[in-house]
Amino acid sequence: MTHPRPGPAPVRQASLRGHNLAVVLRDVADRTALDRPGGADPSRAEIAERTGLSRATVSTMVDELIGARLLAETGPASRGAVGRPSVGLRLDPGGAAGLGLEVNVDYVAACVVDLAGAVRYHRIRHVDLRTRTPRRALAEVETLAGRAVRSAARQDLRLAGAALAVPGLVQDQLVRLAPNLGWVDVAVPPEWHRLPVTVDNESNLAALGELAANPALPRSFVYVSGEVGIGAGIVVDGELVRGSRGFSGELGHLTIHPDGPVCRCGARGCLEQYAGQDAIRAAAGRPVPPDGIPTSVAEFVALADAGNLPMRNALQHAGEALGVAIAGLVNLIDVATVVLGGSFAPLEPWLRDPIAGELARRVVAARWAPVDVVPSVLGEDAAVRGAAGSVIRAVLDDPATWINGAGR
C-alpha cells in the first residue's frame, strides 16, 4: 500500500506507538482469524504475556484500537490468571475493509473483505476484454468497483483501499505487459472512487490469498493459476518470491516445445499454448467462436464428467504439459506443494494424475521429496480475494497510519 508513513517529527514516540499498535493487533489477528477455527479470543493479559509488552501498554494500545474500530470486545471469554473472567478481543468486522478487484481476459470481479476475513460483497461480470481498449476495460473495473464501494458504505464498512489483480507483468502502477489482454505499458489510475488503488500480478495476489485462507497449506508452495493465460505465485517460508525486478512466476511462458505454436508473448511453444483455457478448448474440438460464447470451464467439467473423450484427452494433454513445466520449477526451487488455482481448481480431478506422473518422472529428488498436487481452496476467486486481503494486511501491518489518516 502507498499510505504515507508517519512523519519524522516526534519520531521515537510515534514509531514506538505504531510498532506497539501493530504488535497487539497482529497478536489478536493471528489468534482469531476466521481461518483459524478453535482459536480463543485473547484477553489483554494474554496479549501482554505473549508479546512481552507491559499490561499498561497493552491496555493503552487496545483502547486505541477499539476506538478506531480495529478491535472489538467479545465479553467474558476466557479465565484470567486469578480465575476471574476476562474480556476477549477480536478483530472488529465493522471496521476497516479491503476492496479486491480483478481484470482478466473474459471477466472483471470485485469483492469486499472485512478485517476479520469475511467476504461482504462479491460480484463477477463476464465480459470479453480482448475486444476492448485498455481504457474501456479499466472503465469496466471502475464501474464494478463503484458498486462494491456503495455496498460497503451501506454496510457501514470503511474501505482502506483497493488492489487490482491483472494477468501480466506489473511494475509500480504500470502493467508492462498483459499478453492475453493485449496490454503494453498500461497505467492504472492511482485512485478510484476516492480510494487508493494498487496493482499487482494476479498469481501473486492469489498465492497470498491462498496462504491466508488455507491453514493446512505448508509455508512454501507454488500457486499455479489457470485462466486463458497461466501464471505462478511462488511462496517460500510464507513470503512471496517476486524476483529482483518483480517479474517472477511467468510459468505460462516456459517452453514446452521450442518449435510449437506462436504464443501471445511472441515466443513459440509456451505452456499456455498447451494448457491455457483456449488451448484446452481447441484440443477438445471446441475452439473459441469468433463472435460467440466460448465453452465455459463449468462445461469442461460437465463434459469430462460425462466421459466426453475429446475433453478428457484435452485435459490429459494439458496436465502433461503442466507437469513438464512445473517439474522444471520444482527442480529449481524445491517446493513440496503445488496448488492448482483459477480454472485449474475445478479441473484438478482430471489434471492431478498427469501432472503427478510428470513430476514423478522429471523431479530428480522426487523419490526422497515427493510433491503434492492440491486444488486451491479459494478456486476461481483466489486472485480477487487475495487482492482484498492485501489491503487488509496493510492495515494490520501498520494500524497507526490507518488510525492517523483514512480511519478517521
Binding span for Zn ion by CB under 5 A among 31-39, 120-128, 248-256, 327-335: 248-256
Rounded Cα distance between 357 and 85, Å, is 56
CB of 249 to Zn ion, least distance (A): 13
How many chain residues interact with Zn ion (CB under 5 A)? 5
Query: Interface with Zn ion includes 325 (CB under 5 A)?
Result: no
Which three cell numbers, joined as nine digits, stand for 276? 491455457
The answer to whether the CB of 223 falls within 8 A of the CB of 341 is: yes
Beta carbon nearer to Zn ion, 276 or 386: 276
Query: Interface with Zn ion includes 263 (CB under 5 A)?
Result: yes
Binders in 194-223 for Zn ion, by CB under 5 A: none
Query: Interface with Zn ion includes 181 (CB under 5 A)?
Result: no
Binding span for Zn ion by CB under 5 A among 90-98, 260-268, 300-308, 389-397: 260-268
Beta carbon nearer to Zn ion, 223 or 274: 274
Query: Interface with Zn ion includes 270 (CB under 5 A)?
Result: yes
Q: Which of helix, strand or coil describes residue 87?
A: strand
Query: Interface with Zn ion includes 385 (CB under 5 A)?
Result: no
Rounded Cα distance between 234 and 241, Å, is 5
Binding span for Zn ion by CB under 5 A among 156-164, 169-177, 265-273, 357-365: 265-273
CB of 200 to Zn ion, least distance (A): 20
Rounded Cα distance between 403 and 330, Å, is 43
Binding span for Zn ion by CB under 5 A among 192-200, 210-218, 246-254, 338-346: 246-254
Q: Single out the residue of 331, 333, 342 nearest to residue 252, CA to CA.
A: 342
Beta carbon nearer to Zn ion, 232 or 395: 232
Rounded Cα distance between 135 and 137, Å, is 5
Beta carbon nearer to Zn ion, 31 or 253: 253
Query: Interface with Zn ion includes 137 (CB under 5 A)?
Result: no
Query: Interface with Zn ion includes 253 (CB under 5 A)?
Result: yes
Largest CA distance in the chain: 74
What's the Cα-to-Cα distance from 241 to each of 93, 210, 219, 249, rounded to whole Å?
Answer: 30, 15, 12, 8
- Computed on alpha carbons and rounded to an integer, the radius of gyration of the chain in Å comes to 23
Chain centroid to CA 141: 17
Query: Interface with Zn ion includes 265 (CB under 5 A)?
Result: yes
CB of 261 to Zn ion, least distance (A): 10
CB of 231 to Zn ion, least distance (A): 11
Query: Interface with Zn ion includes 360 (CB under 5 A)?
Result: no
CB of 88 to Zn ion, least distance (A): 52
Q: Which of helix, strand or coil describes residue 125?
A: strand
Binding span for Zn ion by CB under 5 A among 97-105, 228-236, 262-270, 284-292: 262-270
Rounded Cα distance between 73 and 63, Å, is 10
CB of 253 to Zn ion, least distance (A): 4
Rounded Cα distance between 146 and 1, Å, is 20
Binding span for Zn ion by CB under 5 A among 32-40, 165-173, 264-272, 335-343: 264-272
Taking CB under 5 A as the rule, which mask of x and - marks residues 272-311 in contact with Zn ion?
Answer: ----------------------------------------
Binding span for Zn ion by CB under 5 A among 39-47, 147-155, 267-275, 294-302: 267-275
Which three cell numbers, joined as nine digits, stand for 299? 462445461
Rounded Cα distance between 247 and 58, Å, is 41
Rounded Cα distance between 279 and 189, Å, is 33
Beta carbon nearer to Zn ion, 77 or 265: 265
CB of 311 to Zn ion, least distance (A): 24
- Strands 107-114 and 96-103 come out as antiparallel
Query: Interface with Zn ion includes 228 (CB under 5 A)?
Result: no
Chain centroid to CA 378: 9
Which three cell numbers, joined as nine digits, stand for 395? 492495515
* Apex 185 CA angle, 188 and 140, nearest 5: 40
Query: Interface with Zn ion includes 254 (CB under 5 A)?
Result: no
Neighbouring residues of 122: CB distance < 8 A, sequence distance ≥ 6: 109, 110, 111, 112, 381, 384
Residue numbers at the binding site for Zn ion (CB under 5 A)? 253, 263, 265, 267, 270
